[in-house]
Structure 1
Amino acid sequence: MCEQRREVGIRGGLPGALAEQLAVPASSLHALPDSVDAVLGALVEPGGNALRAARAAAPAPGDRALVLGPGTIGLLVAMFLRASGAEVHLMGTTESSLAFARSLGFEHVWTEESVPDVPFDAVVDASNAASLPDLALELVEPGGRLVYIGLAGEPSRIDTRTLVLKDVIATGVLSASPGLDATIRAYAAGSVDPRPLVAATVGLDEVGPVLAGERPAGCGPGPKIHVEP
């Protein structure tokens, strides 16, 4: 939240993500134990966002939590929620994404039309659909928790009257920074394993087509492509 925040390759004049060496403040570095290899290390940042969202959902063991959007962040949120002992449900739109979620061991996977009429103690919107923040508010139980981590390309409005009358807690999650250390510990301990999200590993010579949206030949169903320089 710092006004002077600087990010490599994003803003603040810190180019050099493809350089052989890059100077960053020591305070920004996080040591990776031997059990967290390069693949897991590359997934620490999205994991930090997801961990913060799962913590904001604050599920007690046995609570029912619904995640809207089974993309990278949504699946990571679901993994952290599952590790906390929650009963995790996911809602998506495409059969391929829903099938992939099932392959990760999530039994309660739905489309918007098939979401069961059951109480959800927490709902996390990890989608980019402008209509889903309001749906999340509709689906959460009175006294429950809402977490907004997805961003739509246009305004995504909710009715604050419903927010008040249902007496729910709504939290927005922006950055991974406060959750990086805890994510590293979770990966190291094996309580959350994001490796299945990586569909393929490519070298720098293949980055161009990947960034343009192409899927490498023979890649798996996961949403992430790992770059091995």
Structure 2
Amino acid sequence: MRAFVLTGPREFSVRAVPVPGAVPGEVVVDVERAGVCGTDVEFFTGEMAYLHQGHSAYPMRLGHEWSGTVSALGDGVDPAWLGRRVMGDTMLGDRTCRRCRKGHQHTCAHREEVGIRGGRAGALAERIAVPAWSLHALPDSVDPVLGALVEPGGNALRAAQAADVGSGDRALVLGPGTIGLLTALFLRAAGAEVHLLGRDEPTLAFARTLGFTHAWTRDTLPALPFDAVVDASNAAELPALALDLVEPAGRVVYIGLAGRPSLLDSRSLVLKDVTAVGILSASPGLADTITAYASGAVDPRPLVAATVGLDEVGTVLAGEHPAGPGPKIHVDPRA
């Protein structure tokens, strides 16, 4: 089968690789859509921390946001999975450690991460092999595009839930990229008045096409009380700004990651009686994200700017953005 293989910083090829086999407890999925993520870009540039911590190494096969159809079953897998349309959890804990037993397998110290960590091949390929226990079935109303948006949506849903806002509350999202916009969609679905803070007008203009009229730069941000602030950016200075902007007794949610340490004054956190929450993974939010997409409560499809084939992945990772205003690029490995 064909797969995108990253062999070093900015070194890649699309090559023929062995078709994965369905080992006991696992399934093989024919991939229909896969998303390109900021994490993939960090592996492409060589900046991803896992490369320097020994959790990941080249060559590697990227792709952790995906949807497809189960085409083969390993021993011990429920036959009902065959032919099912699915997406899968990225975080694969060992299922035996204390964290896993407490239901936090996404924080397992020994976890694999699909297309990211531990040598587990990702979905920028025609097929992918994953444990059957990591699968989530997709209803007919969740098409392949939505299916590949469940993983980033699960992260965003958890961030929106951590903000703990609803009707009559005002929330501010820092960073109108894919995760920031997805979080804004879930916050709006919860009934909150949603504001977005971005760096440039074109990005904010796209947010306005999604109905977010309160889209600001630092220079235009009004002096309003924000009951919750979500930092979905990669700017090292914004975690401190989030704390500055949130109302006393409010909540700050940190889901973005900067390339260098972020500093904030914990005295402000204490003296403002603010609750701060960090969000690592989509794992606990996947099922509820599928439900939200299936019901139409949240429709993130406008975020997808273009769908490309495997041969175009390298140029996308290098920064070339195909036509379309949205922040997300999808890959159809069959194209």
**TM-score normalised per structure 1:** 0.96
Q: 1:150 aligns with which of 256, 259, 267?
A: 256
Would you tell me which structure has more helix in proportion to its own residues?
1
* Counterpart for residue 197 of structure 1: 303
State how far apart, in whole Å, the 2-side matches of 1:103 and 1:21 are: 35
- The equivalent of 1:57 in structure 2 is 163
Match status 1:165 vs 2:275: no
- What does 1:215-226 align with in structure 2 at a 5 Å threshold? 215-216=321-322, 219-226=323-330
| Structure 2 residue 208 is the aligned partner of structure 1 residue 102 | yes
Q: Which sits farther off after the overlay, 13-22 or 74-83?
A: 13-22
Give the corresponding residue for 1:66. Answer: 172
Taking the aligned partners of 1:128 and 1:205, their CA distance within structure 2 comes to 28
Q: RMSD between aligned alpha carbons?
A: 1.1
Structure 2 unmatched runs, 5+? 1-106
In structure 1, list runs of 5 or more residues that go unmatched. none
Give, in angstroms, the shift of residue 211 of structure 1: 2.0
Partner residue, 1:91 = 197
Deviation at residue 18 of structure 1 after TM alignment? 4.2
Among 200, 213, 228, the alignment partner of 1:122 is: 228
Secondary structure of the 1:73 match is helix
SS of residue paired to 2:206: helix
- With over 3 angstroms needed to count, the CA separation of the structure-2 counterparts of 1:18 and 1:146, relative to structure 1, is closer
SS in 1 for 2:196: strand
Q: Which of residues 99, 111, 117 in structure 2 aligns to 1:11? A: 117
1:173 Cα deviation from its structure 2 partner: 0.4
1:23-80 CA distance string (max 9 Å, x none):
3211100001111111111111110100000000000212000000000000000000
SS of residue in 1 equivalent to 2:234: coil
Counterparts of 2:122 and 2:164, CA distance in 1:
38
Which residue is equivalent to 1:227? 331
CA distance in 1, matches of 2:119, 2:145: 27
Which has more radius of gyration? 2
Which residue of 237, 241, 245 corresponds with 1:135? 241
Q: 84-93 or 112-121: which moved more?
A: 112-121
Taking the aligned partners of 1:27 and 1:11, their CA distance within structure 2 comes to 18
Indicate how the Cα distance of structure 1 residues 35 and 128 shifts in structure 2: closer, same or farther if over 3 A, else same.
same
- Counterpart residue type for residue 174 of structure 2: L
Work out whether residues 124 and 310 of structure 2, in 8 Å CA contact, stay in contact via their aligned partners in 1. Answer: no
Aligned pairs, number: 227
Distance 1:199 1:57 in 2: 28
Q: TM-score under structure 2 normalisation?
A: 0.66
Alpha-carbon displacement from aligned partner over 1:109-131 (angstroms, at most 9, x marks no partner): 11112211111000000011111
The superposition leaves residues 71-110 of structure 1 with CA deviations (integer Å, 9 ceiling, x where unpaired) of 0000000000000000000000111101001111001111
CA gap of 1:153–1:41, structure 2 versus 1, over 3 A, is same
Amino acid across the alignment from 2:308: V
**Aligned counterparts, 1:22-33, within 5 A:** 22-33=128-139
